[in-house]
Amino acid sequence: MIRSMTGFGRGEYVDDVRKVTVEIKTVNHRYLDIYVKMSRKYSFAEDKIKARIKEGLGRGKAEVSVMVDNFGISDADVRLDKDLAGKYTKALSELGSEFCSEEASGITLSLLARMPDVIKTTPAEEDEEEILKCLLDATDKAVRDITEMRETEGKKLADDLNARADIVADIRSRIETRAPEIEKEYAAKFKARVEELLDGVYEVPEERIALEAAVFADKANITEELVRLESHIGQLRTFLSGTGNEPIGKKMDFLIQEMNREANTIGSKSNDKEITSMMLDLKAEIEKIREQVQNIE
């Protein structure tokens, strides 16, 4: 099945405690490259999230955003260091007794609370297994969502590529029809040129003309290239009609390179203006196909 490498997917997991949102955005890339952006406290789940995404995506650069909202529950714990507060109290009392009047030496709760490290906030401990389950559930939904979008875009690409394959096949057919006429035209031109040079003094044997035309035809023969090009077009259609989930973008890219190589060889061997013109049209269509193939997973 043809899939585009461009897409966006969103998945959510919601319960009484939290809401997890996972968003995946993909663009073209030679391989599968996954970048996950989320709070450091959930970094333990990053490898498992990547592994789950790899199960659904074959190629593309994927930017993954993971957001976790806790409902009415703080994601931080507050810890009081009573021992340190006692030491601050003792130190402040001694300081007040020695340097301040009795009225000025009172130690308030507000003052103690502002002392470094008396009150600490630390990330609240969560059940990693439970939160991992929530994260992967949202990730699975995002992967399904983006896969659906990539398949929808892939159908559009397949329709366009099939239409362009028809154009390439038509140009190939016209080149095939034109090719046999080249030898006949060359033979006539050769005979006329020789007769003009000899000015009727000597009659050129038909065997000589036929031999010269045959040599030219052998050098300009493009039958093999046309056969291979036809085979490549058939292979392209096979890829486009496939139903498997295996990424085929790289294979199609290689196939298009081969099609372009055959077009170049046809142009260099034919030595005919009409075929050269058709070959340029052929290369233009193959290039359009190549550009579209770059978007395929």
pLDDT of residue 233: 96
Using the predicted structure, report yes or no on whether residue 208 has a pLDDT greater than 80.
no
**Distance, CA of 189 to CA of 156 (rounded, Å):** 49
Tens-place pLDDT, residues 52-101: 999 999 999 999 999 999 876 666 667 787 888 788 788 877 777 776 65
- For residues 167 and 285, is the Cβ–Cβ distance under 8 A? yes
Tens-place pLDDT, residues 127-155: 789 999 999 999 999 999 999 999 999 99
pLDDT band at 215 (very low <50, low <70, confident <90, very high): low
Which of 95-99, 187-191, 234-238 reaches the highest mean pLDDT?
234-238
Residues 6+ apart with CB under 8 A from 166: none
Tens-place pLDDT, residues 272-289: 888 889 999 999 999 999
pTM above 0.85, yes or no: no
pLDDT of residue 146: 97
Alpha-helix runs per DSSP H in 79-222: 82-99, 109-113, 128-198, 206-219
Question: What token pair was written down for 65?
Answer: 């955003």
Using the predicted structure, report yes or no on whether residue 104 has a pLDDT greater than 60.
no
Q: Residues 243-267: what's their mean pLDDT?
A: 90
